[in-house]
Chains A and B, each alone.
Chain A
Amino acid sequence: MSFAKLTGGVGIGLRHPHFAEILETKPELAFLEIHSENYFNPHGQSRYYLDQLMLQYPISCHGIGLSLGSSDPLSASHLMQLKDLVDHCQPVLISEHLSWGSINGQFFNDLLPLPYTQELLNHFSARVEQVQDILGRQILIENPSAYLQFSTVEMPEWALLNALVERTGCGLLLDLNNIYVSAMNLGFSSSEYLAEINANAVQEVHLAGFTRKVLPEGEILIDTHGSRVSDPVWHLYQSYLKANPTVATLIEWDSDIPPLSVLLEEQQKALVYG
């Protein structure tokens, strides 16, 4: 079954502990977002549930392991498995991150920061085009959270993302929690980021939670995606949605997965803002 393009609505990230409950209770959701890699194996339990859930919900494929920004060549095996999954479940959206996670064949299982330079823009644009060519469709690129910036930086993140859209025709996935975390850690303005980003390219927004880590020098925000959405991020969402009411929204929760009811409460809260 294929679904039309998303126009607004709020979905949740599909996580293993909730498979059976979602299948059984069929909560009203605009879409389900999967971490693509967890569903690569056509014989795994995750795929078994996906095959049933994709008949009831639009699916969004959100990759976490392609390592688009790495200097290593993209993994042909990873790309082929992604293409197989995309062909299989015909997702309404496909997304990956403005990050890297591997070098010299070694992977770090993380979304590592990139230096926002012209060299990176050239490199990343080529990678996005490569993926879009293989998949035969547009992908969205998501902004990561950051705890540092590189001294070689030549442009702000939003400028790089806007240029990437111009060059490749990709879309954007804005993680408002990540913008807030990075802004607080690196000292830029979330509002300025949202004012500058090309809103026409943004097709999806992520909402998630963070934690605070206290170091002797002060407090740093850690992007755990393991708690409820914070008040400041709800405020950002409210303001962003006012200007962009048709964007799809995802409640994303990646660690310390709570009962499904908690995700649905957050989803309902996001709907109220819509």
Chain B
Amino acid sequence: MVKQITLKQLQIEFGAALRYQASDIEQYVSGGGFSAEQVIQLYRNNFVISCCAALQASFPVTHKLVGDEFFTSVTRQWVLAHPPQSGNIIDYGEGFASWLAALPQLASLPYVASIAQLEWLIEQTASAEIVSKVFPFADLAAIPATLYPLLTFHLAPQFTLCGAAEAIYPLYQMAQQDQFEAINLNMPSYVLLQKQPDFTVSLQPLGEADYQFLLGCTQGLTLANIAEQLGIDPSHYIQTYIAQGVLNRFSCQER
């Protein structure tokens, strides 16, 4: 007699089997001339291989840096531990970089996780809207000077920041060109990412103060907060990044 099982419980058991977890699914499965484990392995392969392929497409430079064997091994581990959270595989990969950063095998190679984070941000930036409206200078001119410390400036959505304790900018450039040379990797690196109209993403290296200023803007800090926390006069940076189209609007906490 066939043992009954609800649809939900069957899917829970099947999902557990796909992730090599304890499961009773085999007693409900017939694989024709093959064992239940053999046919479930086919589905398991589809799941793991397709998710690993998605990660490889999103993290090509990370893959290049660690080599095929290691990348396959770690992506497989990650897929089994952290399956996709949506039905759109394009969304998959958030959190992979921080997971790599915690791997003991990569403790001596911290730049690998930082490059993975850069690649994730490149992919997100490529999907962003490009907003090229002119900065509202007239609105800014109408703000009384006494309120300037309360202003917050905002980055246009096609810009993203990435900062790391390692030299990710030159390393990424070298990996892209497949031309590696000896560099000091233990140098902090700050990058401004910008989506281009042809859907590529350009990288612009930043100085630390510029990065901290723009980071403060993304965190919603007011000019007073930035001046106090970073010890810099933000006016120079405001002019520079409005002129470049990086800052495209402002808000005032009083409003």
Which residues of A come within 8 Å of B, CB atoms?
37-38, 40-45, 48, 64-67, 69-71, 75, 77-78, 81, 100-110, 112-115, 117, 119-120, 123, 147-152, 185-187, 213, 215, 217-218, 220, 222
Q: Give CA–CA (A186, B42) in the complex, Å.
A: 14
Q: Tell me the residues in window 28-80 of chain B with beta carbons closer than 8 Å to chain A beta carbons.
A: 28-36, 38-40, 42-43, 46-47, 50-51, 54
| Chain B residues within an 8 Å CB radius of A105 | 85
Inter-chain contact B32/A187, CB cutoff 8 Å: yes
Q: In the complex the two chains form, is A37's CB within 8 Å of B85's CB?
A: no
Determine the chain B residues whose CB is within 8 A of the CB of A120 once the complex forms: 7
> What distance in Å separates the Cβ of B84 from its nearest Cβ neighbour in chain A?
4
CB contacts (< 8 Å) of A119 on chain B: these are: 6-7
Q: Is the CB of A37 within 8 A of B88?
A: yes
Q: Can you identify 21 A-B contacts, CB atoms within 8 angstroms? A: A37-B90, A40-B88, A45-B199, A75-B86, A103-B12, A106-B84, A106-B85, A107-B84, A109-B84, A109-B89, A109-B92, A114-B7, A147-B34, A148-B39, A148-B40, A149-B29, A152-B4, A152-B28, A215-B38, A218-B34, A220-B39
Q: Kindly provide the distance from the CB of A144 to the nearest chain B CB, expressed in whole angstroms.
A: 11
Chain B: CB-nearest residue to A106? B83
**Once the chains bind, are A148 and B31 in contact (CB under 8 Å)?**
yes
Contact in complex: A41, B127 (CB < 8 Å): yes
Q: For A65, what are the chain B residues with a Cβ–Cβ distance below 8 Å? A: 86-89
The residue in A69, A81, A104 that gathers the most chain B C-beta atoms within 10 A of its C-beta is: A104
Inter-chain CA distance A104–B46, complex, in Å, is 19
Q: Contact at A104–B15, with CB atoms within 8 Å? A: yes
Cross-interface CB contact of B14 among A38, A81, A112, cutoff 8 Å: A112
Residue of A nearest to B200 (CB): A45
| Contact of B10 with A by CB under 8 A | yes
CB contacts under 8 Å to A, within B81-135, are 83-90, 92, 126-130
Q: Quick one: which of B3, B8, B90, B129 contacts A43, CB cutoff 8 A?
A: B129
| Smallest beta-carbon distance A148→chain B, Å | 4
B90 touches A38 (CB 8 A): yes
B29 to chain A, nearest CB (A): 5
A147 proximity list for chain B (CB < 8 A): 31, 34, 39, 42-43
CA distance in complex: A71, B27 (Å) = 20
A66 to B8 CA separation, bound complex (whole angstroms): 17
Residues in A with CB closer than 8 Å to B126 are 44-45
Q: Does B219 contact A (CB under 8 A)?
A: no
Q: Which of A45, A117, A148 contacts B30 (CB 8 A)?
A: A148
- Is B173 positioned at the interface, with any CB of A under 8 Å from its CB? no
Known: A45-B126, A123-B7, A215-B38. A67 touches B32 (CB 8 A): no
Residues of A contacting B28 with CB < 8 Å? 115, 150-152
The 9 closest A-B pairs by CB, nearest first: A65-B87, A71-B8, A45-B199, A107-B84, A103-B11, A37-B88, A148-B39, A106-B83, A103-B15
Indicate if the CB atoms of B87 and A151 lie closer than 8 Å: no
Chain A residues whose CB sits within 8 angstroms of the CB of B183 once the complex forms: none
Report whether A115 and B10 are in contact in the complex, using a CB–CB cutoff of 8 Å.
yes
A110 touches B2 (CB 8 A): no
Inter-chain CA distance A152–B50, complex, in Å, is 29
Q: Are A148 and B87 in contact (CB under 8 A)?
A: no
Chain B residues with CB under 8 A of A42: 129
Determine the distance from Cα of A106 to Cα of B89 in the docked complex, in whole angstroms: 12
What A residues does B5 contact at CB under 8 A? 152
Chain B residues positioned under 8 Å from A186 (CB to CB)? 32
> In the assembly, what is the distance between CA of A44 and CA of B125, in Å?
10
B226 within 8 Å of A (CB atoms):
no
Within 8 Å CB of B46, what residues of A? 109-110
User: Nearest-CB distance from B125 to chain A (Å)?
Assistant: 11
- Which residue from A71, A151, A222 sits with its C-beta under 8 Å from B7? A71
Q: How many angstroms between the C-alpha atoms of A59 and B46 in the bound complex? A: 28
Q: Is B18 an interface residue (CB 8 A)?
A: yes
User: Does A217 lie within 8 Å of B34, measured CB to CB?
Assistant: yes
Q: Which A residues are CB-close (under 8 A) to B51?
A: 109
Q: Which residue of A lies closest to B31 (CB)?
A: A148
Give CA–CA (A107, B50) in the complex, Å: 12
Q: How far is the CB of B156 from chain A (nearest CB, A)?
A: 13
List, in ascending order, chain B residues with CB within 8 A of A66's CB.
87
- Chain A nearest CB: distance from B20 CB in Å? 13
Contact between chains at B87 and A106 (CB < 8 Å): no
B:126-179 near A, CB below 8 Å? 126-130
Return the chain A residue nearest B13 by Cβ.
Answer: A103
